[in-house]
Structure formats: C-alpha cells, structure tokens
Amino acid sequence: MGKGYEQSISVLRMLNAMWRNIANRYGLYMDPESCEYYYSCNSWLAVHMSCYTSLVFNPQTSMCDYVQHVPSCQPQAVGDVVSPAEAN
C-alpha cells in the first residue's frame, strides 16, 4: 500500500479515537501529522483545512497562529515545522 493510503488510515484512526472521547462532535482539531493543518468538524463531517503560509494551528486558541506561539510545533531547523507527535 502507498503512503497516501497509510496516511488516510492514520487520519481515520485518529478521528475515530477523537470522536469516541469528545462529547461534543463540533470544533477545530489539530492534525496529528502536521501542525500546518487542522480538521473542522461539524455534524460528523471532518474537513481537512490548512493554515495560511508560515502559520500553524494553535489548539489552545483554535486558530492559526505564528509558530513561536505554539510550543508543540516549534521548528527544529529554519523552514522546518515538526508534527505534534515529533515534538513530544
């Protein structure tokens, strides 16, 4: 199977876990694979969204923000944005 398939399965597993643990199924949720993306969930529909260039999703404010304001997405080198999983 290709990388796209594996990423799709990863996203589906993350969404299933998220939906089981969240009473209110509406809101904005960080993409666990990339800080530059997030999910907008409404009526059981999850839409994969992206932040504008050079911004990352801030789960504390539920908005796109500058990377220096999101500790879990601090770059490891100039131009790199790490995923939340890599930051921990």
Q: Which phi and psi (to 5°) does residue 83 adopt?
A: -80, 160
Contact 30, 38 (CB under 8 A): yes
Q: What is the pLDDT along the chain (88 residues), one digit of tens a residue?
A: 556 666 676 777 777 666 655 545 688 988 888 999 998 888 767 889 999 999 999 999 999 999 999 988 876 544 555 555 565 5
> Positive or negative, the Cα torsion across 47, 22, 9, 83?
positive
pTM for this predicted structure: 0.59
Rg (C-alpha) for the chain, rounded Å, is 13
Q: Tell the CATH topology of 3-87.
A: Antimicrobial Protein, Tachycitin; Chain A (2.170.140)
β 45-50/37-42 pair status: antiparallel
